[in-house]
Amino acid sequence: MKNNNSYKPNNRNPRGGKPYHGQNNGGNNSSYNRKPRPADSENEFRTAPLTEGDASFDPASDETNGAVVGRNAVRELLKSGRAIDKIFVRKGDREGSITMLVAQAIERKIPVLEVERQKLDAYACGLPHQGIVAMAAQKEYCSVEDILAIAEERGEMPLIIIADGINDPNNLGAMIRCAEGAGAHGIIIPKRHAVGVSPAVTKASAGAVEHMAIAKVTNLAQTIADLKERGIWTYAAEAGGTPYYDVDYKNPCALVFGSEGEGVSRLVKDTCDFIVSIPMYGHVNSLNVSTASAVIINEAKRGQMSKK
């Protein structure tokens, strides 16, 4: 399989379509997170943890929306600069990394509230919270143009991950973690019939979602067709394709991974340029989608890096 096109960010696509870059001057992942909102008053920010006895503590309010759960996820949230309304910690739990996270929050004048474990369990919606839950502004989705702008700003060939109908938040979170670790420029997910960026996804990504541009689109097949017009070669991970290690990835890539039960949908698969597979030599006939994505994403990145 030979792909002779080379990525030239300032030239037109060798396929004859639109250029890779758009009219967007973006490229900084942090721009897809809300900026910290201004304080309503100086008294909103505290220099010490609050407790349930404080007048501003309201356990009856809806705090599950925008929850970021667990130590790793909260650590990455603090790094990202996204607006944080408040952080809850388990009462009496001020050891290890919790102490460091609380110190960082206080330094940023983020309210820290101590609560009983039962309330922390409720705020975490049943997820393992490790004694800490942050309430952040909802992560903002970006556009596909923004993702391409990130690649252009870095001076790299685009590496885009497309999740086709993934409903398990653990799988999507793990895929985001793999993609971020491999240096992918963004994730594209559908608006319907798939999980979005929920607290469970954030938890499963170990906070990687805070550093990843994520776009939601109405029609995946049309989005893939548009990417092809921009010179992005598209690869669907499905059974019966070319072994993933025999594929030439020395070009702008979009890798498509399907749902846990159905795989890549027929229309999306038919729109892609290539079908790639992971050969199975044992008794099981397939891998979990997040595991498969880790294998193929890193191989694609290796192929792109080898071109340098």
Domain ranges of the chain: 32-136, 141-307
pLDDT of residue 217: 94
Least confident stretch, 12-16, 30-34, 44-48, 70-74: 44-48
Strands, E assignment, 147-232: 159-164, 186-190, 214-217
Which structure tokens are listed for 43?
A: 């008294």
Confidence band, pLDDT 50/70/90 cuts, at residue 79: confident
* Whether this model's pTM surpasses 0.95: no
Q: What is the pLDDT of residue 76?
A: 86
pLDDT classification of 49: cutoffs 50, 70, 90: very low
Q: Fold for domain 141-307?
A: Alpha/beta knot (3.40.1280)
Write the DSSP assignment of 54-75 as a string of letters.
STT--TTS---TTEEESHHHHH
C-alpha 134/C-alpha 204 separation (Å) is 15
- Could you tell me the CA-to-CA distances from 6 to 158, 184, 249, 307 in Å, in that order? 11, 18, 11, 9
The DSSP output letter for 124 is: T
CB 19 within 8 A of CB 13: yes
If you average pLDDT over every residue of the chain, what do you get?
79
Query: Does the domain made of 32-136 have the CATH classification 3.30.1330.30?
Result: yes
φ, ψ of residue 142 in degrees (nearest 5): -110, -170
**What does the DSSP 8-state code read for residue 138?**
P
Contact criterion met (CB below 8 Å) for 49 and 114:
yes
